[in-house]
Amino acid sequence: MKAKIITFPVGLYQCNCSIIYCSETKEAILIDPGSEAEVILKKINDRGLSIKAVIHTHAHLDHFGATHEVSQSTKSEVYLHKDDKQLWDIADLQAEMLGLPKCPHANIDHFIEDSQSFHFGEFKLEAIHTPGHSAGSTCFKIENGDEQLLFSGDTLFKRGVGRTDLPTGDSRVIAKSIKEKLYTLDIDTQVIPGHGPNTIIGEEKKQNPFIKA
């Protein structure tokens, strides 16, 4: 059996929000509810899912603008890497800078640790701390039947990498994270980035113009 995955872009910046779930137990994990709480809640409720955790690839506001509303409504707990807490806490300033609406402040219930597992049904998602786009940027990987999947946030895109000119960003650090922690994954690993189309680790190792394997 495989976990089911729904990915859809939300908000002005079209952040890819994902819901991954076990169709038998209906347990689910929500990744990056960036905006459009009603749309996200409808997808959850239509399928009768119970959200075990709301997890974030990082604390840019386009990735957590709907976190408060969705976590309240689904009574679920919120997770973020501790190194992004300072960005999380300046959500209002980010809203001004990014031209996004201000949103109610969501509390962080737990800090994500490197290698931490999130369980749902018989499946698990594992955190990989990949600083560089921001200090607390985190990817999540899952072994799903015969497939490996990676949610790469704004660290790795199809033929691109995350910008490093924002607070706590660092171009050397992101290069190290991608080379040492992502390019070492199975080459067939499918990648679901924080924005834009999916890709495959093996393709990026060969063709990514910014970071070579």
Residues that bind Zn ion (CB under 5 A): 60, 62, 154, 194
Nearer to Zn ion, 168 or 208 (CB): 168
The phi, psi pair for 28, rounded to 5°, reads: -140, 155
C-beta of 155: minimal distance to Zn ion in Å? 9
Closest CA to 33 of 93, 104, 128, 111: 104
C-beta of 61: minimal distance to Zn ion in Å? 9
Name residue 150's beta-bridge partners. 141, 191
C-beta of 142: minimal distance to Zn ion in Å? 21
Closest CA to 183 of 162, 165, 200: 200
Specify whether the CB–CB gap between 116 and 128 falls below 8 A.
no
Query: Using CA of residue 121, residue 123, residue 129, residue 134, what is the dihedral sign?
Result: negative
Whose tokens are 């509303």? That residue is 69
Whose tokens are 């015969």? That residue is 146
Nearer to Zn ion, 36 or 62 (CB): 62
Nearer to Zn ion, 3 or 108 (CB): 108
Instruction: Tell me how far CA of residue 159 lies from CA of 26, 150, 169, 199, 201, in angstroms.
Output: 34, 15, 19, 8, 10
C-beta of 40: minimal distance to Zn ion in Å? 16
C-beta of 194: minimal distance to Zn ion in Å? 5
C-beta of 34: minimal distance to Zn ion in Å? 7
Dihedral angle of Cα 183, 184, 188, 192, to the nearest 10 degrees = -50
